[in-house]
């Protein structure tokens, strides 16, 4: 008798643990739950996270190129439904923000905006002799820089300008010291120190240590915290007066975070200005996302150029000057790009686009100014 053939029955597909439906792909077609859950080996989770944020393929290079050199192109492509060939707007924005933030922090962490010329020390001098000693020490330090074998013409001009400012500061300081001494000798109250201004409080300079913050309806620990913040802010302001570079560095270091927070408000401005276009808020948000991604990309490029200039300042003066022109071009391209992008996306005439562009730019500049002031105030009182 012939041996009967054995028929192998196909295995039943796994079922979704959430709803019990057959699991036919990476996601359940009934409830949408993914097959892969968060409870896995840590390397797998980190791999998926890095793939989500930093998936580097041809799309990223195409997106970055079009984002920087073709105003509004990515946005119009996204609205036309051609999305798979480019990086998504929010991923592009998120990665650009992180990279720009890290680059700015690294650049300003290693950059000193002013040569240690002693201008802050001159402002603290209490006698004319101290002013002269500190001025000569500052000029000697500058002379060392001027005698370098190779120094760019721009740097030499900046040194000469700084030297002139130092001499003016010293002259003003000596004049005030002479006026102060004369007033004290005559038994009069001298004029306030212009280099060390104080805020008056009950007839004496404001000092948060002697005049702690006391708000009746606040708990004692909150008043103590506010007093400590005031003391810290005063110390940081005095340090910034002596070295303005630290304040400038702090201002630029909080710029990416400020733009990140204000980006949805930029979309609100677009919604209000283009209300008769009847576009959804999410469309304006995509425009805002691409605009801010471009701003971060521009800041990153400018930081890279300036860092390269710093490395070539003493060895290649011609390249140093050429990179300076490139930095100027990058700054000019930033507002020009945003205008061209607004024109291309919303398709209005140049006059109307220009008017709306100026209005949006003014309003957003005010918002950025308040945002930076708030962020800088927090930085002064907490760091």
Q: Check residue 147 and give its pLDDT.
A: 64
Asked, for residue 21, whether it belongs to a domain, the answer is no
Note whether 97 and 149 are same-domain residues: no
Q: Which of 191, 214, 232 lies at the terminal end of a domain, its last residue?
A: 191
Q: Which of 151, 173, 191 lies at the terminal end of a domain, its last residue?
A: 191
Asked, for residue 183, whether it belongs to a domain, the answer is yes
Report the distance separating Cα 74 and Cα 91, nearest Å: 13
Q: Check residue 114 and give its pLDDT.
A: 43
Angle at 338 between CA 332 and CA 343, to 5 degrees: 125
Asked, for residue 8, whether it belongs to a domain, the answer is no
Asked, for residue 226, whether it belongs to a domain, the answer is no
Note whether 252 and 301 are same-domain residues: yes
Total domains present in the chain:
2
Angle at 87 between CA 82 and CA 90, to 5 degrees: 105
Q: Check residue 202 and give its pLDDT.
A: 45
Burial class (CB in 10 A: 0-12, 13-18, 19+), 186: exposed
Q: Check residue 117 and give its pLDDT.
A: 43
Note whether 105 and 253 are same-domain residues: yes
Taking the CA atoms of 77, 80, 84 and 90 in sequence, report the sign of the dihedral they define.
positive
Given a cut of 70, the residues of the chain with pLDDT beneath it are: 1-13, 37-40, 45, 47-58, 108-121, 124, 144-156, 193-214, 231, 234-253, 314, 379-383
What residues make up the domain containing 148? 121-191
Note whether 106 and 144 are same-domain residues: no
Note whether 106 and 125 are same-domain residues: no
Asked, for residue 27, whether it belongs to a domain, the answer is no
Note whether 174 and 70 are same-domain residues: no
How far from 168 is each of 126, 128, 192, 226, CA to CA, in Å? 17, 14, 19, 38
Asked, for residue 137, whether it belongs to a domain, the answer is yes
Asked, for residue 6, whether it belongs to a domain, the answer is no
Q: Which of 191, 218, 236 lies at the terminal end of a domain, its last residue?
A: 191
Reported as a single tens digit per residue, the pLDDT across 215-261 is: 777 777 777 777 777 767 766 666 666 666 666 666 666 777 788 88
């Amino acid at each position: 008798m012939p041996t009967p053939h054995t028929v192998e029955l196909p295995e039943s597909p796994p079922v979704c643990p959430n709803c019990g439906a057959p699991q036919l792909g990476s996601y359940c077609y009934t409830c949408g739950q993914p097959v892969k859950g968060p409870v896995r080996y840590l390397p797998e989770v980190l791999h998926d996270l890095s793939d989500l944020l930093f998936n580097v393929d041809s799309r990223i290079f195409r997106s970055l190129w079009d984002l920087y050199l073709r105003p509004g192109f990515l946005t119009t492509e996204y609205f036309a439904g051609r999305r798979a060939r480019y990086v998504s707007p929010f991923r592009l924005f998120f990665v650009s923000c992180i990279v720009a933030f890290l680059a700015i922090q690294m650049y300003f962490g290693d950059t000193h905006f002013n040569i240690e010329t002693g201008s802050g020390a001159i402002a603290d001098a209490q006698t004319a002799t101290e002013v002269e000693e500190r001025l000569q020490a500052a000029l000697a330090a500058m002379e060392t820089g001027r005698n370098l074998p190779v120094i760019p013409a721009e740097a030499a001009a900046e040194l000469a300008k700084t030297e002139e400012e130092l001499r003016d500061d010293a002259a003003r300081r000596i004049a005030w010291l002479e006026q102060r001494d004369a007033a004290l000798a005559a038994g009069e109250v001298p004029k306030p120190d212009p280099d060390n201004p104080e805020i008056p409080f009950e007839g004496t300079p404001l000092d948060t240590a002697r005049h702690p913050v006391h708000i009746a309806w606040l708990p004692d620990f909150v008043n103590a915290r506010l007093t400590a913040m005031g003391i810290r802010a005063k110390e940081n302001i005095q340090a910034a007066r002596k070295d303005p570079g630290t304040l400038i560095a702090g201002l630029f270091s909080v710029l990416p975070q400020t733009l990140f927070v204000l980006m949805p408000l930029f979309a609100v401005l677009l919604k209000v200005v283009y209300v008769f276009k009847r576009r959804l808020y999410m469309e304006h948000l995509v425009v805002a996302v691409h605009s801010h991604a471009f701003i971060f990309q521009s800041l990153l490029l400018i930081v890279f150029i300036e860092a390269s200039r710093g490395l070539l300042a003493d060895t290649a003066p011609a390249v140093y000057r050429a990179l300076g022109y490139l930095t100027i071009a990058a700054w000019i391209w930033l507002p020009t790009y945003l205008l061209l992008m607004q024109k291309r996306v919303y398709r209005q005439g140049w006059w109307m686009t220009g008017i709306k562009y100026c209005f949006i730019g003014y309003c957003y500049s005010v918002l950025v100014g308040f945002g930076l002031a708030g962020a800088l105030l927090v930085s002064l009182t907490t760091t």
